[in-house]
Structure 1
Amino acid sequence: MALSGYLRILCAASLWGLIGPVAKIALAAGMPPLEVAFWRTASGWLFFALQALFAGQYRVAGRDMPLVLAFGLFGVAGLFGTYVLAVRDGGAALASVLLYTAPAWVAVMSRFLFRESMGPAKILALIMTMTGVACVCLGPGAGAEHIGPAAVFFGLASGLSYALYYIFGKQYLGRYSTPTLFLWAMPVGALALLPSVTFHAWPFTVWLAVVTLGFCSTWLAYSIYYSGLRHLEATRAAVVATMEPVVAAVLAWIMWDERFSLLGYVGSGLILAAVLVTMRPARRMPGVETEEVAPADAV
């Protein structure tokens, strides 16, 4: 059963690793980044809505609704939008690596919001993360986009937005199923991204790319991840899910010839190692609070 859990988590991580390289197909055709995020959100919501309605899991208490809707704005639109902007400005590999600054953001926010202590492991992880980001930004390799301030800003912003999944999940995701929450949160995210939509007659490959993001990298990835958690403890699942940036980097190299320099790969390794250091003292990764909490790579 444990092997089945590992395989499912690995499959989910691979599906999340598709996000950057597949999004670049739409970006290369001229679709604006926030429109890519919109269609991913809208198509992903369709599948979550169908699941929630068929399962009868669509009720949210009135007292919780304001924060659920706020999560749709900052967690869904914020994460999906900034991540695609990071892909546009810095490449799929860079965006995936900078997304993994989320545990560092979580450590800082938890210190102020939940009064959690900043022990040696967290401090070490923060130092490793900051050093890793510096190395990645200073080490673009042949074939990689120029790493400018915008790429770093949007990459770090995506990590910050993703960290909200932990903060929100600690309070609310344990009360409801994921389809229930996304049934209500995703339309808010879509509405926030709607002004960016051009309603252009895009080629079939572009529509295929954005629907793939909604179906495979959003709804299917979540579903497989949660089924894997039934056979594997959350911390182990989060460790396996760190395969996402590896998958993203390999696909970005194959599809788009993106490569880091040696310094860039060292920085990437430091950021991923910081994730493991953060989890070692029994700290859970963003969104793996319970079986129904958003996963560690829910981009």
Structure 2
Amino acid sequence: MSTQTATATGAFSRRAAYLLLAAVVLIWGANWPVMKVGLAYVEPFTFTALRMLLGAAALFGVLAATGRLAVPTRRDLPVLLSVGLFQMAGFLACVMFGLQTVDAGRSAILAYTTPLWVTPVAVAVLGERIGAWKGIGLGLGLAGVAAMFNPLGFAWDDPAVVRGNGLLMLAAFCWAVAILHVRAHSWDSSPLQLAPWQMCVAAPILTALALTFEGTGSITWAPEFLAVIAYNAPLATAFCFWGAVTVTRALPAISTSLGFLGVPVLGMLLAAVTLGETLTLTRVSGLVLIVAGMALVNLADLRSD
């Protein structure tokens, strides 16, 4: 298999997938402080529904313009639903609620604790093997998550804060379900062809939540918010959700879940620079452990390619 697109259904080689993973990590990492800024102009579910609708429109436009727009096959319906419901609707809904009471850096860490859920299932059900280097890397990554989570570092006596942290952990679980299903699924269509349809599954759910909890609401169409939407719709939504599913298809589930820990690493650093969030010693040590763990796992995969 070459380092270019490998098949008509959009499978990538490992080397190409890691390049795509790097792009997704960069865009999503930067999006954590961007989303925090966006919430000053719009309610969370309204924001999420808007970016999902605009992202779907962008992808439908790309597919129509390139002659690749197609109705999903019956065999692809399960993965269409699981990604739409869990990775898009469930993950984003929990994250946006959590961001209201948890700072952007901590939110990014909790929402990406997917290796905790993915690893045991990937080994037991998907038959993935953990060699020595990958095992050490996974251990370092999870140790980094534990260090940055720092359960002594937030107010357990504040119900809103506890609820926010719990919702962010639930977000990680939702994404883990999608990662495992994407890895196990036999595809007819490519991830690009399915992505806008998956967004069409998520958008009505997010819109219904917006109407239920926020009413018709109001959006402050300030230039800063327009910039947030311009970043979120085509890049952080359309490109990155396609890229995340494509990467998940090409790489082992354990490697994928650990690789995406690069998002909170970058998100936390940028939140400290742009929003003035505190970068404590425990967070710095966690960052170092996660980066070291990602490097070991990625090198182990690339050596076996």
Pick the TM interval, shorter chain. 0.7 to 0.9
Tell me, in whole angstroms, the C-alpha distance in 2 between the residues paired with 1:204 and 1:126.
Answer: 43
Matched, 1:53 2:64: yes
Specify every segment of 5 or more residues in structure 2 that has no aligned partner in the other structure, as ranges: 5-15
Q: CA deviation at 1:242?
A: 5.9
Which of 45, 51, 55 is the equivalent residue of 1:40? Answer: 51
Indicate if the aligned counterparts of 1:75 and 1:162 stay in contact, CA closer than 8 A.
yes
Q: Residue type of the partner of 1:34? A: F
Q: CA deviation at 1:200?
A: 2.5
What residue is the counterpart of 1:103 in the other structure? 115
Tell me, in whole angstroms, the C-alpha distance in 1 between the residues paired with 2:163 and 2:134.
Answer: 27
Distance 1:122 1:33, change over 3 A: farther
Of residues 190-199 and 40-49 in structure 1, the stretch that sits farther from structure 2 once superposed is 190-199
Which of 30, 35, 39 is the equivalent residue of 1:27? Answer: 39
Q: Residue type of the partner of 1:50? A: G
Which of 275, 279, 296 is the equivalent residue of 1:256? Answer: 275
Matched, 1:282 2:294: no
Distance 1:267 1:149, change over 3 A: farther
Matched, 1:85 2:97: yes
Distance 1:147 1:199, change over 3 A: closer
Which of 221, 237, 260 is the equivalent residue of 1:204? Answer: 221
Tell me, in whole angstroms, the C-alpha distance in 2 between the residues paired with 1:219 and 1:253.
Answer: 26
Indicate if the aligned counterparts of 2:80 and 2:194 stay in contact, CA closer than 8 A.
yes
Which of 169, 189, 208 is the equivalent residue of 2:202? Answer: 189
Tell me, in whole angstroms, the C-alpha distance in 1 between the residues paired with 2:74 and 2:20.
Answer: 35
Tell me, in whole angstroms, the C-alpha distance in 1 between the residues paired with 2:21 and 2:139.
Answer: 28
Q: Residue type of the partner of 1:77? A: A
SS at match of 2:99: helix
Of residues 195-204 and 14-23 in structure 1, the stretch that sits farther from structure 2 once superposed is 195-204
Distance 1:22 1:188, change over 3 A: same
Q: Residue type of the partner of 1:255? A: T
Indicate if the aligned counterparts of 1:140 and 1:259 stay in contact, CA closer than 8 A.
no
What residue is the counterpart of 2:82 in the other structure? 70
RMSD value over aligned CA atoms?
Answer: 4.0
Matched, 1:114 2:126: yes
What residue is the counterpart of 1:14 in the other structure? 26
Indicate if the aligned counterparts of 1:137 and 1:152 stay in contact, CA closer than 8 A.
no
Indicate if the aligned counterparts of 2:58 and 2:238 stay in contact, CA closer than 8 A.
yes
Q: CA deviation at 1:115?
A: 3.9
| TM-score (normalised: structure 1) | 0.73
Distance 1:179 1:161, change over 3 A: same
Q: CA deviation at 1:207?
A: 4.7
Tell me, in whole angstroms, the C-alpha distance in 2 between the residues paired with 1:173 and 1:245.
Answer: 30
SS at match of 2:100: helix
Tell me, in whole angstroms, the C-alpha distance in 1 between the residues paired with 2:95 and 2:23.
Answer: 21
Specify every segment of 5 or more residues in structure 1 that has no aligned partner in the other structure, as ranges: 284-299
| TM-score (normalised: structure 2) | 0.71
SS at match of 1:18: helix
Q: CA deviation at 1:165?
A: 4.0
Of residues 185-194 and 105-114 in structure 1, the stretch that sits farther from structure 2 once superposed is 105-114
Q: Residue type of the partner of 1:257? A: G
Identity of aligned residues (%): 20
Which of 236, 250, 253 is the equivalent residue of 1:217? Answer: 236
